Amino acid sequence: MLIVTETFPKTSLGFIDRFLVTAESFRIPQALIFNKTDLLDTQQIVGLQQKIELYKGIGVTCIQTSAIKKEGIEDMRSIFNDKVTLISGHSGVGKSTLINLIAPEITQKTGEISNFAGKGVHTTTFAEMFKIADNTLIIDTPGIKELGLIEIENDELSDYFPEMRALSQDCKFNNCLHLDEPDCEVKLGLEDGRISESRYLSYLSMIEGKDNRR
């Protein structure tokens, strides 16, 4: 599960997509928690709704939370039941704060975000596992800055974008990379809106091996 924020520190779509692809390649179910909704202005709320629509559309569980206002906490709690969940995200997005709310008997250190470039300060310094109930375990991790893509070949990358995987069956070539090949269903999908532009751009940047910083 990835905890993300719209505001401080901002999580880019490229980072989210990279995370989802990695999880998908291991067949790990994914969820996105959009925290700090209390900090959003009207325009940012509209932007957030569009993102949620995009990710729900490709089958990712999306939940909005505000740890400060204690909103969305029950929704979030419900997805932890009877499984082991690893929580990831940039430093300072509120991972430890949210876990503390779910299991009040655990009180972890949470940190102020340093103002320097809006980057978090890495309050959590090692991964730690918490037992919430008999079969419910949560692993808190230190904030991550970068996420590399390891051992995913270009010709299998689109398999880990569920919406592309569905369309690629109809590409003319079965080894289509959805770049400049003729009769590419994914490129058609990009034109008619079945594939979102931001997701396709993330795909391209991963193919090019660039943009693994955020």
Q: Which residues bind ligand GTP (CB under 6 A)?
A: 35-36, 38-39, 66-68, 89, 91-97, 110-113, 120, 122-124, 142-143
Q: Which does 127 bind (CB under 5 to 8 A by kind): ligand GTP, Mg ion, Zn ion, none?
A: none
Counted residue by residue, the chain has a size of 214
Q: With respect to ligand GTP, which residue has the nearer C-beta, 142 or 162?
A: 142
Q: With respect to ligand GTP, which residue has the nearer C-beta, 123 or 196?
A: 123
Q: Which of 96, 100, 168, 196 binds Mg ion (CB under 5 A)?
A: 96
178 lies in the site for Zn ion, by CB under 5 A: yes
Residues numbered 105-164 forming contacts with Mg ion, rule: CB under 5 A: 123-124
SS3 letters across the chain: CEEEECCCCCCCHHHHHHHHHHHHHCCCCCEEEEECHHHCCHHHHHHHHHHHHHHHHCCCEEEECECCCCECHHHHHHCCCCCEEEEECCCCCCHHHHHHHHCCCCCCCCCCCCCHHHCCCCCCCCCEEEEEECCEEEEECCCCCCCCCCCCCHHHHHHHCHHHHHHHCCCCCCCCCCCCCCCCHHHHHHHHCCCCHHHHHHHHHHHCCCCCCC
| C-alpha–C-alpha distance, residues 151 and 72, integer Å | 36
186 lies in the site for Zn ion, by CB under 5 A: yes
The span of 2-10, 26-34, 37-45, 93-101 binding Mg ion (CB under 5 A) equals: 93-101
Least Å distance between CB 116 and ligand GTP? 14
Residues numbered 55-74 forming contacts with Zn ion, rule: CB under 5 A: none
What would the two tokens of residue 171 be?
């590409």
Q: Which does 189 bind (CB under 5 to 8 A by kind): ligand GTP, Mg ion, Zn ion, none?
A: none
Least Å distance between CB 79 and ligand GTP? 17
The residue ranges that bind Mg ion (CB under 5 A) are 95-96, 123-124
The residue ranges that bind Zn ion (CB under 5 A) are 171, 176, 178, 184, 186
